[in-house]
């Protein structure tokens, strides 16, 4: 609901703040007083195109601030969240327009684009004027309005559509994976066989490289190793000589302490000599040069490294690669079975959507009949008794099916007997268009599309009983939502719960437009002016009182 509107330096408005309340609010005033300025100002706050011509002469910039009270589940809150903006129960839209034409928009003092300002504004207010091409005139919204009018179950269709599309996506992904696998099947089979035949082990490449290196070292050091062995081993070798010396010294060790100490030292030398023998033997074994063994190690190492290069992995990763490729090969068979199951699931999901959409189509056809009847009942009192209204529900091609079903919905009218039906937006007469919109709005009152609706001179060109019928329907509409109407009709004005008078005044060369709320007495005087013209008569005041009393009854 619109709670307040503040305007600064817009055309003839210098400074103005208006507070609004629920119900039917009417804005009246003489022709040319500046009602269009008020609506243009509100349009600015709602994201309409800015124009430097709106800035009051002599001012550097114009600004408009509109405040709205909204609920926690309001569509504007969702838009704010989607755009990472904070919001609460009070939503403040502000627009500034500079004299050079530049503009800036804000929502709750957070800078936003004019596009977002317009999108948020569209969820807050519907403005219906003589040349408005939005709201009910936009066929894109007719399907949702019919669904809301008939309280139709669109959610089940949306769920079925989502399930169908998700099943199709899963099937497409599985087919793509399977096709890729089938293209690689021959290569996979060869690769798996090759890896299985080689049976690579983690760490094997390093072990083979070390063994190969040792054997090649052994080949290179064989002659030196042999000469060392000859010096140490044999009956005349160093080890044998040390043992003989130890045996002879042992016989002499009792003769003197130093001889005993020398024996102890020689024993330690023999112990370490034994370790030398062991190390030499182990080294000889490790570096033993066996041409057949070396050829075998080199062949295995060559195969490991060659296969690793082929698959562009490290040799140690070949074992994991074998497992991975084996799993992929097995998955091809499982993928064929999965594709078959998913294809069946897609068929079932599609059938479920088609059934739900068909049921919704039937319900829409019934709701369309009810809506046509409801609108028809509103036409005659609004001097549209020659007109006909119909709700067209037609099937869409499969390519146009959506979460909302498989139907196209559009409101059409025929304004004269025998004339063909046409979209609402093609109505030639602005007055007829406004009254048609009102008839539709009354019929669709339960849908509550926006918290505030504004009708701009909906009563133009009519009077008497038709104006009374318009006022009565606006009042009914205002029982469920806030309605503001710019009117020249006393019958409509008398129906208002609140009334403001728009007036223009001049002081020297300065002209200003002002808007002020009216008391009950002032309302009667204003309605009397609307009835009688420039000179307000007692008869007009009495008639105004009757209109107000009748409206309150």
Percent of the chain with pLDDT over 90: 31
More confident residue, 31 or 513: 513
pLDDT at 131: 46
* 486 inside domain: no
For residue 13, tell me if it sits in a domain: no
Helix axes 291-311, 185-198, angle to 10 degrees: 150
For residue 440, is it within any domain?
no
133 pLDDT band, cuts 50/70/90, is very low
Write out the DSSP string of 254-310. Answer: GG-HHHHHHHHHHHHHHHHHHHHHHHHHHHHHHT---HHHHHHHHHHHHHHHHHHHH
In a domain, 287, yes or no: yes
The string of DSSP letters for 203-232 reads THHHHHHHHHHHHHHHHHHHHHHHHHHHHH
**Percent of the residues in the chain that have a pLDDT greater than 70, as a whole number:** 87
Give the DSSP letter string of 18-33: EE--SSEEEEE--TTS
Strand, helix or coil for residue 8 = strand
Is pLDDT above 70 for 515?
Answer: yes
Q: What is the pLDDT of residue 251?
A: 75
3-state secondary structure 476-505: HHCCCCEEEEECCCHHHHHCCCEEEEEEEE
Q: What is the DSSP string of 436-478?
A: HHHHHHHHTGGG---SEEEEESTTTT--HHHHHHHHHHHHHHT
The β-bridge relationship of strands 110-112 and 103-107 is: antiparallel
Residue 195 resides in a domain:
yes
The pLDDT, as a whole number, for residue 169 is 94
Structure confidence by residue, pLDDT tens digits, 267-316: 787 777 767 777 767 766 666 666 777 778 888 888 888 888 888 888 88
Tell me the pLDDT band of 263, cut-offs 50, 70 and 90: confident
Instruction: Please report whether residue 283 resides in a domain.
Output: yes
Q: What does the chain come to in residues?
A: 553
Mean pLDDT of the chain: 83
Asked if residue 261 has pLDDT above 50, the reply is: yes
State the pLDDT at residue 353.
Answer: 96
Is there a domain that residue 172 lies in? yes
537 pLDDT more than 90: no
pLDDT of residue 250: 73
Full residue range of the structural domain in which residue 333 is found: 154-364
Mean pLDDT of 164-169: 95
Q: Does the pLDDT of residue 480 top 80, yes or no?
A: yes
Of the candidates 37, 96, 95, the residue with the CA atom closest to the CA atom of residue 61 = 96
Range in 20-24, 260-264, 351-355 the model is least confident about: 260-264
Residue 4 pLDDT grade (very low, low, confident, very high; cuts 50, 70, 90): very high
**Model pLDDT, residue 411:** 92
pLDDT band at 430; cut points 50, 70, 90: low
Q: Report the alpha-carbon distance of residue 400 to residue 398 in Å, rounded.
A: 5
Give how many domains the chain has, as a whole number.
1
pLDDT score, position 7: 93
pLDDT value of position 333: 66
Q: DSSP 3-state assignment of 85?
A: coil
pLDDT attached to residue 448: 60
Number of Cβ within 10 Å of residue 81's Cβ equals 11
Q: Is the pLDDT of residue 405 over 90?
A: yes
Rounded to whole angstroms, the Cα distance separating 546 from 318 reads: 99
Note the pLDDT of residue 499: 94
The residue that leads in pLDDT, 12 or 35, is 12
Q: Are 149 and 443 in contact (CB under 8 A)?
A: yes
pLDDT digits (tens, 9 = 90+) for 174-228: 888 777 766 666 677 677 778 878 888 888 888 888 877 777 766 665 555 655 6
Q: What is the pTM of this model?
A: 0.65
The arithmetic mean of pLDDT across residues 506-528, rounded, is: 87
Q: What per-residue confidence (pLDDT) applies to 453? A: 87
Domain assignment of residue 147, yes or no? no
pLDDT value, residue 53 = 86
Residue 286: the pLDDT is 63
pLDDT at residue 519, rounded to an integer? 93
Using an 8 Å Cβ cutoff, are 405 and 353 in contact? no
- What number is the average pLDDT over the span 245-265? 74
């Amino acid at each position: 609901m619109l709670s307040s509107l503040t305007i600064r330096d817009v055309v003839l408005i210098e400074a103005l703040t208006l507070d609004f309340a629920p119900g039917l609010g009417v804005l009246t005033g003489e022709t040319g007083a500046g009602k269009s300025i008020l609506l243009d100002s509100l349009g600015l706050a709602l994201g309409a195109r800015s124009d430097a011509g709106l800035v009051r002469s002599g001012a550097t910039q114009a600004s408009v601030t509109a405040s709205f009270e909204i609920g926690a589940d309001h569509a504007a809150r969702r838009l704010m969240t989607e755009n990472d903006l904070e919001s609460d129960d009070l939503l403040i839209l502000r627009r500034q327009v500079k004299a050079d034409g530049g503009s800036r928009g804000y929502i709750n003092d957070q800078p936003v684009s004019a596009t977002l300002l317009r999108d948020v504004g569209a969820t807050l207010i519907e403005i219906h004027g003589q040349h408005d091409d939005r709201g009910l005139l936009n066929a894109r919204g007719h399907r949702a309005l019919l669904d809301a009018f008939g309280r139709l179950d669109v959610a089940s269709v949306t769920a079925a559509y989502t399930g169908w599309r998700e099943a199709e996506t899963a099937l497409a992904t599985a087919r793509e994976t399977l096709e890729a696998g089938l293209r690689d099947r021959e290569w996979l089979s060869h690769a798996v066989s090759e890896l299985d035949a080689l049976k690579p082990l983690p760490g094997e490449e390093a072990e083979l490289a070390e063994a190969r290196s040792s054997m090649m070292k052994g080949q290179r050091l064989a002659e030196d190793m042999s000469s060392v062995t000859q010096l140490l081993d044999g009956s005349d070798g160093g080890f044998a000589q040390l043992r003989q010396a130890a045996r002879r010294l042992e016989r002499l060790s009792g003769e003197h302490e130093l001889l005993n100490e020398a024996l102890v030292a020689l024993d330690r030398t023999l112990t370490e000599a034994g370790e030398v023998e062991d190390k030499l033997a182990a080294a000889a074994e490790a570096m033993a040069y066996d041409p057949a063994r070396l050829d075998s190690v080199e062949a295995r190492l060559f195969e490991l490294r060659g296969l690793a290069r082929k698959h562009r992995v490290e040799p140690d990763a070949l074992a994991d690669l074998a497992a991975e490729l084996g799993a992929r090969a097995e998955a091809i068979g499982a993928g064929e079975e999965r594709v078959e199951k998913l294809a069946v699931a897609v068929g079932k999901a599609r059938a479920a959507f088609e059934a739900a959409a068909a049921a919704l189509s039937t319900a829409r056809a019934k709701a369309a009949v009810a809506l046509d009847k409801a609108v028809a009942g509103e036409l005659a009192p609004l001097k549209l008794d020659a007109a006909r209204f119909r709700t067209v529900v037609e099937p869409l091609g499969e390519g146009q099916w959506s979460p909302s079903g498989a139907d196209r919905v559009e409101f059409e009218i025929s304004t004269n007997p025998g004339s063909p039906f046409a979209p609402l937006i093609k109505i030639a007469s602005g007055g007829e268009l406004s009254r048609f919109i009102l008839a539709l709005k009354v019929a669709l009152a339960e849908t509550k599309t926006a918290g505030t609706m504004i009708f701009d001179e909906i009563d133009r060109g009519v009077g008497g009983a038709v104006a009374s019928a318009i006022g009565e329907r606006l009042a009914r509409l205002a029982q469920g939502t806030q309605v503001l109407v710019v009117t020249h009709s006393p019958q409509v004005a008398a129906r208002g719960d609140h009334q403001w008078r728009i007036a223009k005044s001049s002081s020297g060369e300065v002209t200003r437009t002002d808007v002020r709320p009216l008391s009950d007495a002032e309302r009667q005087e204003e309605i009397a002016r609307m009835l009688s013209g420039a000179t307000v008569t007692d008869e007009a005041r009495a008639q105004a009182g009757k209109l107000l009393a009748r409206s309150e009854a």
